[in-house]
């Protein structure tokens, strides 16, 4: 009955010498440390900025606006970059965050911290529901669905009396635990949120959760075969993404102490946030940062031509899609990556380049039918 002879199995080719990965692992750890050093340097610059001589409140205000956009873009990049789902409706989450905190502040005189938590949670909860509703959608249908969501939010804030439509809601000056804060204080609040969100994104992407997101993005079948619960992880991705963008919305309302449907009833925010991650790059940490700076600073730099900003954004978007589809951050990071690749190769890393098309093909295997 035993068909396979034990001799067959024992007579194995001699055990090849074990591949030594330690040099590569060490190098990769070093690169990681360099990344952290870079991030900490940027953070130190950002902390020092308002203290520089000659920096005034309005400048801190402008940079805080950039920071808010970066946070919003980080929210959407969780979805676009790591789960491969496109959202054209993240302005909706921005609005939900902004209105939640504004109403709490107006009626209960809460401070920004409570606003941030409740605005984020509210947006996260709506994101969770949306994730469930859009479970079966992907690609263009997902884009249309999320766009519909942004329109829906716009209609609600325009028409439901609680949100006071175009009249808008004026907010008292900003407080953190009963302390009033000015432009510079607000700058530091925004920077703190940005730092926390960045740290969280970093950890999440490098955990089993980030791996599951990317697995669903790359092959839903293989992900499910590996035990990744598609429903669970898609809703987690939506919730986290909405939570982060919702917090950006809270800050966006409080920074001008005023919100109205004129601003949040439109889909421009949705478009701007998406443009930020597409231009900056969605699957790298620096992407939302560069994209956020681009989207906010462009109108400023054009000064009296600011009305043309939206045309120029469109032009840049198209150029990026053609010449740097992975985003500007990817292009800027290329010299560093090339240098690191060289170091890795020197350490003996196999460094496989893409093989010729026929051998890498993931398409159907040629079934060799042998007759018994």
The end-to-end CA distance of the chain, in Å, is 18
Shortest CA distance to 115 belongs to which of 177, 47, 160?
Answer: 177
Does 237 engage in binding with other proteins (CB under 8 A)? no
User: Of 14, 16, 53, 335, which one interacts with other proteins (CB under 8 A)?
Assistant: 16
Shortest CA distance to 231 belongs to which of 126, 131, 125?
Answer: 131
The C-alpha angle 275, 254, 41, rounded to 5 degrees, equals 60
Does 228 engage in binding with other proteins (CB under 8 A)? yes
Q: How many chain residues bind other proteins (CB under 8 A)?
A: 63
**Which neighbouring-strand residues pair with 259?**
169
Binding window for other proteins (CB under 8 A); candidates: 122-130, 219-227, 243-251, 311-319: 219-227
Shortest CA distance to 297 belongs to which of 332, 330, 272, 270?
Answer: 272
Instruction: Name which of 75 and 253 has its Cβ closer to other proteins.
Output: 75
C-alpha to C-alpha distance for 121 and 117, rounded to whole angstroms: 6
User: Of 94, 142, 236, 320, which one interacts with other proteins (CB under 8 A)?
Assistant: 236
Does 52 engage in binding with other proteins (CB under 8 A)? no
Binding mask 80-119 for other proteins (x = CB under 8 A): ----------------------------------------
195 CB-near residues (< 8 Å, 6+ apart): 43
Q: From residue 113, how far is each of 74, 96, 189, 221 by CA, in Å?
A: 20, 16, 9, 41
Instruction: Name which of 88 and 215 has its Cβ closer to other proteins.
Output: 215
Contact 191, 68 (CB under 8 A): no
Binding window for other proteins (CB under 8 A); candidates: 20-28, 68-76, 154-162, 170-178: 20-28
Q: From residue 210, how far is each of 24, 214, 330 by CA, in Å?
A: 22, 6, 19
Binding window for other proteins (CB under 8 A); candidates: 93-101, 120-128, 198-206, 262-270: 198-206
Does 129 engage in binding with other proteins (CB under 8 A)? no
C-alpha to C-alpha distance for 77 and 226, rounded to whole angstroms: 25
Binding mask 299-338 for other proteins (x = CB under 8 A): ----------------------------------------
Binding stretches for other proteins (CB under 8 A) = 1-5, 8-9, 12-13, 16, 18-19, 21, 24, 28, 200, 203-204, 207-212, 214-215, 218-219, 221-230, 232-233, 236, 344, 349-355, 359-372
């Amino acid at each position: 009955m035993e068909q396979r002879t034990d001799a067959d199995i024992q007579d194995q080719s001699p055990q090849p010498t074990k591949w030594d990965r330690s040099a590569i692992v060490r190098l990769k750890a070093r690169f990681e440390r360099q990344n952290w050093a870079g991030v900490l340097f940027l953070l130190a610059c950002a902390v020092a900025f308002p203290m520089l001589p000659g920096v005034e409140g309005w400048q801190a205000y402008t940079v805080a606006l950039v920071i808010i956009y970066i946070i919003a873009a980080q929210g959407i990049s969780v979805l676009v970059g790591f789960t491969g789902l496109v959202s054209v409706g993240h302005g909706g989450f921005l609005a939900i965050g902004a209105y939640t905190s504004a109403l709490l502040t107006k009626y209960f005189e809460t401070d920004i911290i409570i606003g941030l938590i409740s605005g984020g949670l509210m947006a996260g909860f709506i994101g969770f529901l949306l994730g469930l509703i859009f479970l079966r959608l992907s690609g263009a249908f997902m884009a249309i669905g999320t766009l519909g969501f942004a329109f829906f939010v716009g209609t609600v804030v325009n028409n439901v009396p609680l949100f006071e439509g175009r009249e808008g809601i004026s907010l008292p000056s900003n407080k953190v635990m009963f302390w009033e804060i000015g432009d510079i204080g607000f700058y530091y609040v925004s920077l703190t949120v940005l730092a926390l969100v960045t740290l969280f994104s970093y950890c999440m992407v490098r955990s089993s959760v980030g791996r599951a997101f990317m697995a669903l993005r790359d092959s839903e079948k293989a992900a499910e075969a590996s035990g990744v619960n598609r429903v669970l992880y898609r809703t987690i991705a939506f919730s986290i993404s909405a939570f982060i963008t919702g917090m950006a919305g809270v800050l966006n309302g409080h920074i001008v102490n005023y919100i109205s449907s004129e601003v949040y009833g439109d889909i421009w925010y949705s478009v701007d946030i998406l443009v930020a991650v597409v231009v900056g790059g969605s699957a790298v940490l620096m992407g939302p940062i560069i994209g956020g700076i681009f989207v906010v600073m462009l109108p400023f730099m054009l000064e009296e031509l600011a009305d043309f900003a939206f045309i120029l954004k469109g032009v840049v978007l198209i150029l990026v899609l053609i010449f740097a589809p992975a985003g500007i951050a990817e292009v800027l990071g290329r010299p560093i990556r090339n240098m690191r690749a060289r170091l890795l190769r020197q350490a003996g890393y196999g460094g496989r380049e893409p093989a010729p098309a026929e051998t890498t093909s993931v398409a159907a295997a040629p079934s060799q039918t042998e007759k018994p």
